[in-house]
């Protein structure tokens, strides 16, 4: 109760001091009446109350504890005043209570100090939070500025995108128009090409009919001449060759002539069976037949081909040379064995003369726009055929470096091209899954055979075509019926085919690192397999060959070695290493049986022999 009175008195003192300050400042008008002075007084009193309230709130806990302490103290004093002091136990208990009160008062004072220290710490933390809040507000204002700038840039980019979209739409419309015009031009081009071909065919037919009429007229004239010559009579005077006597009188001579019978006989100025007439008729028909042909009379003649009785197994390299500027894909000997052709990815065919165990460059055949995949000589050895990556096959004469004929029609690369045993025909196989038969007289495709798989290689015999494919099958085609008569299964993807010189055995090389020899004389097609340790088929176009005597097989491996098998024993005859630095792509055995040539992907060609 004393504490409450003290607080009330302190408040009164503050109010009185405030009133005195007001009066001293002259805010109160004389007479003590209300007005502006009362207003200022109330305002100052309100401010003082607010200050008192704010200050008392900070020490409210202390006041509360102090009031409790005062209450306990007054309660203790009242107890002591009501009880007598004669009892020693009561006095001791009271003393203990006083000690406890003192302890409690000290603890409360310590708690007050701790609370004040915590208040200071919290005030510091609050200041730090205020400063960080101010920094965050500044950052937020900067972020707002950046956001506004980005929004402006986004609007600008959207406008630019809109302009680009409009330009794109315009270009798209132009492209569509250009594509439409291109299609129209292509249609016109195809139509013009068809019209031109039609006109060419008409002109060719007119020319052929004109030439036919001329040849018939010449034949009729020749027949008439022959008939008139056969009917004509020639008088022969038998005495014209005898010596006459100058003493004989003309009169007597006339009488003698008139008296002697006149000797006459039929004389044929030219016989229809005479060699001269036969030669002229043959030349006439040859000129007629070759009027529109790409072949010459010399090319039509078959040259004799030597027969190899025993092939030599090569034992050493006679010559190693860099034959091309890029990798070599194919190699082939001519039928006379004195000429070699190589073709590679550098788009040329090189001809080499084989003399005395060495290769000498003879000529370079150009004209292909892409790499060469296969080469083949005709039976006469005066023409060469090549397959190319440019979807065509090309024909050269050996005395001309410019192609004499280009066969186009395949839609993908041509992988094989061979001369047919029939004159003036060639066969091509392609990655477009077709096999085509071409007539060189007309320079046109006469047969197209659709195949179910990629054609990797083919060989030709009379009336038959044998092709190897990626679907692990070898197909036999009858050109007369234009149909597949038999399918021979293989153990892997077929990379090459080769026929023996007697056309009785077929060699196939597959990607399963195995060579198979098929006997074509038997309907069951008995097969023999040839493998060797270390032999590996290096690519999808690796070429293997049969020796000209049919006793050996030769193939190049991915390790750069040439492997040769013996057909009689079925085992490996020999292995020729260390001359190639990369995978061997093709091997060719000369028809004479004397030489073997191997080529690889690193431009190298090696001539092998047993000499």
Give 368-387 pLDDT, tens digit per residue: 999 999 999 998 888 999 99
The pLDDT of residue 252 is above 50: no
Average pLDDT for 319-344: 93
Tens digits of residue pLDDT in 107-145: 777 888 888 888 989 999 999 999 999 999 999 999 999
| CA torsion through residues 14, 19, 22, 27, sign | positive
Q: Place 466 in a pLDDT band, splitting at 50, 70 and 90.
A: very high
For 241-259, b where at least 16 C-beta lie within 10 A, e where not — what string? eeeeeeeeeeeeeeeeeee
With beta carbons less than 8 A apart as the criterion, state whether 428 and 391 touch: no
Average pLDDT for 95-100: 68
Task: State the pLDDT at residue 502.
Answer: 86
Task: State the pLDDT at residue 193.
Answer: 83
Q: Between 50 and 236, whose confidence is greater?
A: 50
Global confidence as pTM = 0.53
Which residue pairs, CB below 8 angstroms and at least 24 apart, start in 117-122? Answer: 119/58
The pLDDT of residue 7 is above 70: no
| Ramachandran region, residue 424 (left: φ > 0; alpha: ψ -120 to 50; beta: rest) | left
The pLDDT of residue 304 is above 70: no
Q: Place 259 in a pLDDT band, splitting at 50, 70 and 90.
A: very low
Domain ranges of the chain: 1-8+66-74+98-196, 316-609
Measured CA to CA in angstroms, residue 84 lies from 93, 100, 189, 574 at distances of 13, 22, 141, 140
End-to-end CA distance of the chain: 141
Task: State the pLDDT at residue 532.
Answer: 92
Class of the CATH domain delimited by 316-609: mainly beta
Give one DSSP letter per residue of 159-178, joined into a string: HHHHHHHHHHHHHHHHHHHH
Tens digits of residue pLDDT in 53-97: 777 777 777 777 777 777 777 776 665 565 554 445 555 666 676
User: How far does CA 146 lie from the centroid of its chain?
Assistant: 49
Q: Place 235 in a pLDDT band, splitting at 50, 70 and 90.
A: low
Q: Place 50 in a pLDDT band, splitting at 50, 70 and 90.
A: confident
Q: Between 162 and 248, whose confidence is greater?
A: 162
Tens digits of residue pLDDT in 543-594: 999 999 889 999 999 999 999 999 989 899 999 998 998 999 999 999 989 9
Q: Between 577 and 302, whose confidence is greater?
A: 577
**Both structure tokens of 261:** 């019978």
Query: Three-state DSSP class for 232?
Result: coil
Query: Three-state DSSP class for 282?
Result: helix
The pLDDT of residue 272 is above 80: no
Q: Place 535 in a pLDDT band, splitting at 50, 70 and 90.
A: very high
Task: State the pLDDT at residue 146.
Answer: 93
Measured CA to CA in angstroms, residue 111 lies from 3, 65, 105, 434 at distances of 20, 10, 10, 106
User: How far does CA 61 lie from the centroid of its chain?
Assistant: 89
Report how far residue 555's alpha carbon sits from residue 515's, in angstroms, rounded to the nearest whole number.
9
The pLDDT of residue 32 is above 80: no
User: How far does CA 501 lie from the centroid of its chain?
Assistant: 39
With beta carbons less than 8 A apart as the criterion, state whether 546 and 498 touch: yes
Task: State the pLDDT at residue 520.
Answer: 85
Report how far residue 515's alpha carbon sits from residue 544's, in angstroms, rounded to the nearest whole number.
8
Q: Between 401 and 38, whose confidence is greater?
A: 401
Report how far residue 403's alpha carbon sits from residue 388's, in angstroms, rounded to the nearest whole number.
13
DSSP class of residue 423?
Answer: T
The pLDDT of residue 362 is above 60: yes
The pLDDT of residue 147 is above 90: yes
Report how far residue 576's alpha carbon sits from residue 563's, in angstroms, rounded to the nearest whole number.
7
Task: State the pLDDT at residue 161.
Answer: 93
Query: Phi first, then psi: what are they for 392, rounded to 5°?
Result: -145, 170
Give which of 432, 329, 333 is closest to 372, Cα–Cα.
Answer: 329
* Percent share of the chain, pLDDT over 90: 43
The pLDDT of residue 467 is above 80: yes
Task: State the pLDDT at residue 457.
Answer: 95
User: How far does CA 45 lie from the centroid of its chain?
Assistant: 98
Q: What is the average pLDDT value for the chain, to the nearest integer? A: 79
Task: State the pLDDT at residue 401.
Answer: 87
Report how far residue 539's alpha carbon sits from residue 372's, in angstroms, rounded to the nearest whole number.
15
Task: State the pLDDT at residue 37.
Answer: 60
The pLDDT of residue 418 is above 90: yes
Task: State the pLDDT at residue 39.
Answer: 85
**Both structure tokens of 447:** 């047969």
Report how far residue 503's alpha carbon sits from residue 521's, in angstroms, rounded to the nearest whole number.
9
């Amino acid at each position: 109760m004393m504490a409450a009175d003290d607080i009330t008195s302190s408040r009164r003192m503050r109010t009185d001091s405030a009133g005195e300050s007001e009066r001293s400042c002259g805010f109160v008008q004389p007479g003590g009446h209300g007005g502006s002075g009362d207003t200022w007084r109330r305002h100052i009193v309100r401010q003082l109350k607010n200050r008192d309230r704010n200050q008392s709130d900070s020490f409210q806990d202390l006041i509360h504890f102090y009031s409790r302490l005062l209450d306990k103290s007054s309660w203790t004093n009242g107890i002591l005043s009501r009880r007598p002091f004669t009892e020693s136990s009561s006095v001791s208990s009271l003393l203990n209570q006083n000690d406890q009160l003192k302890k409690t008062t000290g603890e409360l004072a310590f708690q007050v100090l701790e609370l004040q220290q915590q208040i200071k710490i919290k005030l510091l933390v609050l200041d730090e939070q205020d400063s960080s809040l101010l920094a965050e507000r500044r950052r937020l204002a900067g972020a707002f500025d950046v956001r506004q700038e980005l929004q402006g840039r986004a609007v600008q980019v959207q406008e630019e995108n809109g302009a680009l979209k409009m330009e794109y739409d315009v270009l798209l419309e132009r492209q569509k128009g250009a594509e439409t015009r291109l299609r129209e031009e292509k249609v016109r081009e195809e139509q013009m090409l068809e019209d031109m071909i039609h006109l060419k065919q008409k002109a060719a037919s007119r020319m052929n009919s004109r030439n036919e009429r001329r040849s018939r007229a010449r034949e009729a004239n020749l027949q008439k001449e022959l008939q008139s010559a056969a009917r004509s009579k020639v008088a022969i005077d038998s005495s014209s060759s005898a010596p006459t006597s100058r003493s004989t009188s003309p009169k007597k001579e006339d009488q003698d002539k008139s008296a002697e019978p006149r000797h006459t006989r039929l004389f044929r100025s030219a016989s229809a069976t005479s060699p001269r007439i036969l030669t002229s008729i043959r030349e006439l028909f040859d000129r007629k037949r070759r009027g529109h042909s790409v072949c010459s009379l010399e090319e039509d003649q078959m040259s004799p081909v030597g027969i190899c009785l025993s092939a030599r197994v090569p034992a050493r390299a006679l010559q190693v040379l860099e034959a091309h500027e890029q990798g070599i894909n194919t190699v082939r000997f001519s039928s006379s064995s004195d000429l070699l052709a190589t073709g590679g990815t550098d788009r040329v065919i090189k001809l080499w003369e084989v003399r005395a165990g060495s290769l000498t460059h003879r000529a370079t055949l150009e004209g292909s726009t892409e790499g060469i995949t296969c080469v083949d000589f005709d039976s006469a050895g005066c023409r060469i055929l090549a397959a190319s990556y440019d979807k065509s096959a090309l024909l050269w004469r050996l005395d001309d470096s410019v192609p004499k004929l280009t066969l186009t029609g395949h839609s993908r690369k041509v992988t094989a091209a061979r001369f047919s045993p029939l004159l003036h025909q060639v066969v091509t196989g392609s990655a477009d899954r077709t096999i085509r038969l071409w007539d060189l007289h007309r320079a046109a495709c006469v047969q197209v055979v659709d195949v179910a798989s990629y054609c990797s290689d083919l060989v030709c015999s009379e009336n038959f075509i044998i092709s190897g494919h990626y679907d692990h099958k070898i197909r036999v085609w009858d050109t007369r019926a234009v149909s597949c008569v038999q399918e021979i299964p293989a153990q892997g993807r077929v990379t090459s085919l080769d026929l023996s010189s007697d056309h009785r055995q077929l060699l196939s090389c597959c990607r399963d690192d195995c060579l198979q020899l098929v006997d074509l004389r038997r309907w069951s097609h008995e097969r023999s397999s040839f493998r060797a340790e270390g032999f590996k088929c290096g690519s999808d176009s690796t070429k293997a060959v049969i020796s000209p005597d049919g006793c050996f097989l030769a193939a190049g491996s991915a390790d750069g070695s040439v492997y040769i098998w013996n057909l009689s024993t079925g085992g490996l005859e020999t292995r020729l290493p260390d001359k190639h630095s990369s995978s061997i792509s093709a091997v060719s055995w000369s028809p004479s049986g004397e030489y073997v040539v191997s080529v690889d992907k690193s431009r190298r060609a090696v001539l092998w022999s047993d000499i």
